[in-house]
Amino acid sequence: MAAAPVCPHLSACPGCPRFGAAGPSPRALTQLQQLCEASRAPLEVESGARLGFRHRARLAVRGRAGRPKIGIFAEGSHQLVDIPSCPIHHPLINDTARALKACMRELNATSYSEAAHAGLVRALQVVVERPSQTAQVVLVCNEPTPAAALPLLELLAQRMGERLHSSWWSGNIEVTNRILGDDLALCSGPPHVVEQIGGARVFFPPAAFGQNNLELFDRMVERIHASVPDGSRVVELYAGCGAIGLGLAQRCRELVFNELSPASLAGLSLGIAELPEHVRQRVRVVPGAAEHTEAELTSDTLVIADPPRKGLEPALLAALGRKAPERLVYLSCDHDSLLRDAALLGELGLRLQRATVYDAFPYTEHVETLAEFARS
């Protein structure tokens, strides 16, 4: 029998309210089972690693001079909980946070204070690239230029050595809860994290969205690809950097990507450029909001959608009803919005055929669900 997981921050940290639980949220699972029973659709459950699985983290930096803290806020407050040994983080994320603390102490670099809107370092973003096992590091600073942060980034690079993929400065001088600022500057290393997902090279700039639990995401992509027949016309909405669709390009007669974020569009463009020329000719990108893609939703189209937590926009749902694509493969990170959208899709003639729950956020109330719909 495996030993129970241990977390030294459990009493204060709100990040894992179900820490130690063996499976996905009972509430989410029960509601999704009811949805599948109503549709007479099978439901599967897949789990993965429960420790060290998180390859991405955005952490706030606070604390007094000489005593920086790096972590997340206690629920309902801006009281920061220091989490230097988070067991769900990839170990390199914890190592990076500890190295940054040591560098800040050595250089007497200040942490951000919300009350005074002063202090240099506001946040730390770390993304671990799997092939190289190195860390892409973004230091978010309360400064309009990188100058004040460069000595800190240079010392951090020395401490991390070959474990550092790249270092970035991000300027955020606004009074806001948003973490990354609009300004980003590459200080050292390659400009993108590169992952092999679904048989394709996928490029992630630091401001682009990426999945945290890559082990389970690989399995989600594998399942999605298995549901796409050769020769399909595929439209992928909320495509991000192309982590799902790029691996389908060789098999599609036409592949249309839709994405809104400029950073994700930049990563997607690099992934498309990696495809053979004869494959690129079958690929198009439609930038902008997904709700404005109705012209692409023809009746012979297989639609893939991976929306944010709020789910599908009402205008997009209406367009799906009018155009009635052949199939919809819906990857949801919020079961409440999926339940709402599934009911509306059923009314519009798209019936749930099967669902797979992925325990991609262990110890929380959230799950990732792959729901497959077909035209009635």
- Distance between CA 307 and CA 206 in Å, rounded? 20
Question: 352 - beta bridge partners?
Answer: 373
Would you tell me the crossing angle of helices 91-107 and 150-160 to the nearest 10 degrees?
130
Q: What strands lie across the sheet with 301-305, from one edge to the other? A: 43-46, 350-358, 368-375, 327-332, 301-305, 233-237, 254-259, 283-287
Which CATH class, in words, describes the domain spanning 26-50+213-375? Answer: alpha beta
CA gap 341, 343 in Å, rounded: 5
Rounded Cα distance between 110 and 141, Å, is 10
Distance CA 146, CA 180 (A): 14
Per-residue pLDDT of the chain (376 residues; tens, 9 = 90+): 567 789 999 989 999 999 999 999 999 999 999 999 999 999 999 999 999 999 999 999 999 988 999 999 998 888 999 999 999 999 999 999 999 999 999 999 999 999 999 999 999 999 999 999 999 999 999 999 999 999 999 999 999 999 999 999 999 999 998 999 999 999 999 999 999 999 999 999 999 999 999 999 999 999 999 999 999 999 999 999 999 999 999 999 999 999 999 999 999 999 999 999 999 999 999 999 999 999 999 999 999 999 999 999 999 999 998 887 989 999 999 999 999 999 999 999 999 999 999 999 999 999 999 999 999 8
pTM for this one?
0.95
- The 8-class DSSP code of residue 298 comes to -
Contact by Cβ (8 Å): 130, 143: no
Q: CA 9 to CA 142: how far, in whole Å?
A: 28
Scan for tokens 């003639």, then name that residue.
349
Torsion of CA 251, 257, 261, 262, to 10 degrees: 80
What contacts 25, CB < 8 A, 6 or more positions away? 18, 364, 365, 366, 367
Q: Which residues contact 171 (CB under 8 A, 6 or more apart)?
A: 140, 141, 143, 144, 145, 146, 181, 182, 183
For CATH 3.40.50.150, list the domain ranges present in the chain: 26-50+213-375
Helix/strand/coil for 368: strand
Torsion of CA 239, 242, 247, 248, to 10 degrees: 30
Q: What pLDDT does residue 76 have?
A: 81
Amino acid 376: pLDDT: 80
The CATH number corresponding to 56-190 among 3.40.50.20, 3.40.50.300, 2.40.50.1070, 3.40.50.1100 equals: 2.40.50.1070
The pLDDT, as a whole number, for residue 209 is: 96
pLDDT value of residue 189? 97
Closest CA to 47 of 24, 15, 25: 24
CA-CA-CA-CA torsion sign (204, 208, 214, 220): negative
The pLDDT value recorded for residue 2 is 62
Considering the chain, tell me which residue range(s) the CATH 2.40.50.1070 domain(s) occupy: 56-190
Q: What angle do CA 222, 228, 229 make, to 5 degrees?
A: 130
Contact 307, 237 (CB under 8 A): yes
pLDDT confidence of residue 1: 53
Q: What tokens appear for 202 in the block?
A: 């996928």
Tell me the one-letter amino acid at 203.
Answer: F
Backbone angles phi, psi at 127, to 5 degrees: -125, 125
